[in-house]
Structure 1
Amino acid sequence: MVSIIVPVYNAAPYLNQCVDSLTKQTLKEIEIILINDGSTDDSLAVCMALAATDDRIRLIDKPNGGVSEARNDGLRAATGEYAGFVDPDDWVDEGMYERMLATLTVAQADICMCNYVKETKEGTEPVLMKQTGIIERNAIIGDIVANVIAKPSFKSGETDIMGSVCRLLIKRELLENENIWFDKEVAFMEDLLVCVEAFLKSGRIAIDDGAYYHYRVHESSVVNSYKKAFHERQVQAFRKLQSLLEREGKADELAQRLDMRYIIIALLSLANEAHKSNPQPMGTKIKNIAAILKDPALKTILTRLDLSEVESRKKLELTLMKREASIALYLYYSLFNRIKAALGKG
């Protein structure tokens, strides 16, 4: 019934927990497709040992090509009526796929979404969507797609929906008929692009209010470490998203959320440049921050932004961005990153 696709790259310490959570699924009619994407650690050996213990596990060993290509290989090999995705350092509740399949079947939907649990060193935090029940085609753009792109505003309490395929169960026929694949050119947001395209092509989405997927947050995650060429790659993915929405005739309807997404990309990029693990000299960091702030598209979006109801800390960041205060922003994010790191250790 369900093909669960797991792209594996240097994840040996986590694989046993991940795959164990899949082989113990209460839904027995599953296949587990492990794609070893040219790992340089012991991942292949662990995958081989796991495959020997359960004939529902299929192993694909291939040269490194990135997570998108690995997931595409998994989709091409899949035989299940539905497709699910799990990252190799995460794990799921034992009843996840049985419950999601039941929710999807009763609703006669193309896609089922569930909530997830954020797993950090500090503890466990369920992350729940405001959306519930069945989302019909005429509400998918406003209730789901818009909130996957970005939250509606910077007002306190506003939330978005994490655009991850790992929280989905999708009719494989939908992906095949609509020719939906992961973009190998995109290093960030490849999940979000597939989610948005699948949602736009879906006639009905069912929301299961269970928090079944356990997402492990690493010290190397985007918010916790410096990423080289982060801004350029995020902007590249944004352009792909923009092109997708233009192709589907939805770009104008979602223009405000695209603006929000672009500002969020800039905010993350500024914090990334100021991160303590960025090896570049301070002068270069400030120069890179200044270059981000001079982006004409960003400047235009910021002029349209109403700051009257924005919470104080975010209002400070956005005001400094509007003023192109690169030195002040560098100092602000340097201090913020240090405080966050100290709180994390404490």
Structure 2
Amino acid sequence: MSPTVSVVIPVYNVESYLHRCIDSILNQTFQDFEVILINDGSIDNSGQICDQFAHQDDRITVIHKENARVSAARNDGIRLAKGKYISFIDSDDWVEPEMLCEMVKKAEEMSLDIIMCDYKKKSNDNEMKMSQPIRGRYYSKEDIREELYRCLIMFDHLELPPTISNWVCLFNLKFLRENQLHYDEDIHYCEDSLFGSKALYHANNFYYLKGHYFYNYFYNPCSTTNTYNAKKWDSYLKINERLKRYFAEESVFDFSKQLKINMLYFTLNALGQIKYSGSNAQEREKMIRDIMNHPKVGDVFYRFEFPNVSWKMKVTILMIKFKLAKTYNYLVLKTKEN
């Protein structure tokens, strides 16, 4: 008999966090699930930990593969999943015991394509409750078009990522497969923004469990996820271009402003991450200048309408517009020449 939920967890060199993540699934109040652990070429003890869990619980399946990154691992999960619903959880994060119970209950009650909860952003010494600036409860297809298309790709204020963060969602697996929704495997950073925008665009309905903080997102500002590298910038550019192409071809809604805000969001992300790159002031300034001079960044400012942001953010945006790399390096990143 097929499980109700397939929980997909890509695993790569997370031996310090993996027990916490898997234990949080096994300790759910709802127990009708399978866990698919995709060991993506780990070179630490993560693979062995996965095998130990699988030996102890026959609901756990382990796939060992050469490293192909998180998008490919999640696609493996979509192909292998047997559940009615699918959940994607990052291996350094963990979830509250009632997460699956509450989300499955609502999904079954209302025949949902997608349901989303809130999350806590946790570091070693801090915790923030994160909630999206949209209303909670049920959205029909008409509600999605009228209320969520305007923030489908990007919120105007630039301080939060797109509406859908995949790891706080439960997806109807049949819905994903019928709409051929999958992750772009050549995108290795922020990949869920592209997937989530497409999924919500196609959804016939959606439910937001606002105020239910079931997911714990572990934030490490010095991790590779939050530090700058050229491949990450390349992923940002690909995401924006593919969003532009996808919604230009299929949409009845004008997403042009959101696409500009999305590109600006990625630009600000990349520039901010340079602070943790370990480079000296001159190297940082070159990285900043390369980003600011990119043609796609310049395109943002053609007939540009300022988003609803603070005056400090507007000053930062003006530095980008006028390519003030040295000023940004000194004032925003607080670096000095050696």
TM > 0.5 fold call: yes
Counterpart in 2 of 1:226?
A: 228
Q: Deviations over 1:235-287 (max 9, x none)?
A: 1121122222123225x6111111111111122222234x25343x5444323
Q: Which amino acid aligns with 1:277?
A: S
RMSD of the alignment, in Å? 2.3
- How far is the alpha carbon of 1:173 from its aligned partner? 0.4
- How far is the alpha carbon of 1:189 from its aligned partner? 2.3
SS in 2 for 1:335: coil
Counterpart in 2 of 1:87?
A: 90
| Among 62, 71, 77, the residue aligned to 2:65 | 62
Bigger Cα displacement from structure 2, 241-250 vs 143-152: 143-152
| Among 136, 139, 147, the residue aligned to 2:143 | 139
Distance 1:276 1:62 in 2: 31
Distance 2:37 2:245 in 1: 32
Distance 2:182 2:45 in 1: 28
Cα distance, 1:313–1:221 mapped onto 2, change above 3 Å? farther
SS in 1 for 2:258: helix
Bigger Cα displacement from structure 2, 68-77 vs 285-294: 285-294
Distance 2:32 2:167 in 1: 19
Bigger Cα displacement from structure 2, 237-246 vs 1-10: 237-246
Q: Which amino acid aligns with 1:134?
A: Y
Cα distance, 1:117–1:276 mapped onto 2, change above 3 Å? closer
**1:277 is aligned to 2:277:** yes
**C-alpha contact (below 8 Å) 1:276/1:334 kept by paired residues:** no
Counterpart in 2 of 1:114?
A: 117
**1:19 is aligned to 2:22:** yes
- How far is the alpha carbon of 1:290 from its aligned partner? 2.5
Bigger Cα displacement from structure 2, 100-109 vs 214-223: 214-223
Distance 1:219 1:296 in 2: 28
**C-alpha contact (below 8 Å) 1:82/1:171 kept by paired residues:** yes
**C-alpha contact (below 8 Å) 2:164/2:200 kept by paired residues:** no
Bigger Cα displacement from structure 2, 310-319 vs 6-15: 310-319
**C-alpha contact (below 8 Å) 1:6/1:86 kept by paired residues:** yes
Cα distance, 1:161–1:276 mapped onto 2, change above 3 Å? closer
**1:100 is aligned to 2:103:** yes
Q: Which amino acid aligns with 1:287?
A: K
- How far is the alpha carbon of 1:142 from its aligned partner? 5.0
SS in 1 for 2:92: coil
User: TM-score, length-normalised on structure 1?
Assistant: 0.88
Q: Deviations over 1:82-124 (max 9, x none)?
A: 1111111111111111100111122222111111111112222
- How far is the alpha carbon of 1:24 from its aligned partner? 1.3
User: TM-score, length-normalised on structure 2?
Assistant: 0.90
SS in 2 for 1:33: strand
**C-alpha contact (below 8 Å) 2:189/2:225 kept by paired residues:** no
Distance 1:145 1:223 in 2: 28
Question: How many residues get paired?
Answer: 331
Q: Deviations over 1:52-92 (max 9, x none)?
A: 22111111111111111111111211111111111111111
Q: Which amino acid aligns with 2:80?
A: A
**1:212 is aligned to 2:214:** yes
**C-alpha contact (below 8 Å) 1:193/1:241 kept by paired residues:** yes
- How far is the alpha carbon of 1:205 from its aligned partner? 0.4
Unaligned runs of at least 5 residues, structure 1? 338-346
**1:46 is aligned to 2:49:** yes
Q: Deviations over 1:151-180 (max 9, x none)?
A: 1246xxx75545321111111101111111
Q: Deviations over 1:111-143 (max 9, x none)?
A: 111111111122222112232111111232453
Q: Percent identity?
A: 26
Distance 1:308 1:147 in 2: 13
**C-alpha contact (below 8 Å) 1:145/1:196 kept by paired residues:** no
